[in-house]
Amino acid sequence: MALTQLVAVPARRRLPILIPAEYWHLLSLDAPCVATIWAWSIARALRITLPASPLLILFLGTWLLYVADRILDGLDPGNSYRLRDRHFFYLRHRAAIFTATIPVASLLTWLVLLHMQARARHADALLFVLVAAYFVLVHQRGRAIESWFPKELLVAVIAAAAIAVPAWSRVAPGDFEAAVVLAFLAVLFAFLCWLNCVAIEKWERPLEWQVRRPTHVTDRTTKWGQQNLRLSGALIAIAAAAVGGALFGITQTFAAELCLAGSASAFLLAALDRAYPDSRISALHFRIAADAALLTPVLLIALR
């Protein structure tokens, strides 16, 4: 099927109650929301009060990266079998979305230059180089490297580093306890992000593609994660809960609660995998649920 034909595919019939969640995903607001909430929560766990600017920088930067990634995915004719609702959405509305990126990029540049700590700016510059290299590899050499390139794992590591930077740049030198807590929470988020990416890759894979190509080309870490998704979710949930219990013992209350929220996220992803495949739930809604599962820290904010 030609790419122009794919763009013309009509949208699925949706229940009205699900439309806001679908646009939350289609407009690429899901990942920025998850990143911002976790960045704020990690800073709160370290008793650091973040101003609005680093959170807004993280939100806008994440949104622009996801917009670019989805547009580039949709423009690759050889990638047509992997296109999903979000790619069709961006192909249909790419002019309006591109126009929207101009003021967003301008605001982001102003914030980075005038309202960002030097330490955070240097760390984010390094992350930007890694992201740029990732974009080149994935969008220029994607099919040639997918058998060995750990895409999901790399995304998880970069995402975890990005959400840790606002708090890391404000940790006092020599504060060993804060550094340890920050490191664990960042690692926990990396595991959750990896589990999320692996689950999405598994749930969105077309069933007919699985039948034609049972040895779906993917790297070993992703393949293992897909085959052991429920086990991985259970192990991450247990480990996070155990560390959360230990942190309660040393009066790291919010950090402990954040660990329990992460444990709940891992459990939810494992539970979603158990529900897959359910013919009553579309791949789009599994995708939305996978990202929503990482919003559990919102409960901590709501309860305080």
How many angstroms separate the CA atoms of 23 and 36, rounded? 18
Q: How much is the pLDDT for 209?
A: 44
Q: How much is the pLDDT for 79?
A: 64
- Residue ranges per domain, the chain? 20-302
Q: Are 85 and 11 in contact (CB under 8 A)?
A: yes
Q: Which residues contact 169 (CB under 8 A, 6 or more apart)?
A: 54, 117, 119, 120, 123
The count of other CB atoms within 10 Å of the CB of residue 250 is 11
Of the listed ranges 50-54, 167-171, 202-206, 214-218, the one predicted with least confidence: 214-218
Interval 92-111: pLDDT, tens: 998 999 999 999 999 999 99
Residue 14 has pLDDT above 70, yes or no: no
Going by C-alpha positions, the residue among 2, 68, 13 that lies closest to residue 284 is 13
Average pLDDT estimate for 248-260: 87
Q: Are 190 and 157 in contact (CB under 8 A)?
A: yes
Q: How much is the pLDDT for 16?
A: 52
Q: What is the mean pLDDT of the chain?
A: 87
Say if residue 38 is exposed, middle or buried (CB neighbours under 10 Å; 0-12, 13-18, 19+): buried
Q: Residue 237 is encoded by which pair of tokens?
A: 């949930």
What is the H or E stretch that residue 53 is in?
Answer: helix 52-75
Residue 15 has pLDDT above 80, yes or no: no
Interval 116-157: pLDDT, tens: 999 999 999 999 999 999 999 988 877 778 788 899 999 999
Interval 272-303: pLDDT, tens: 999 887 767 788 889 999 999 999 999 988 77
Going by C-alpha positions, the residue among 170, 29, 171 that lies closest to residue 86 is 29
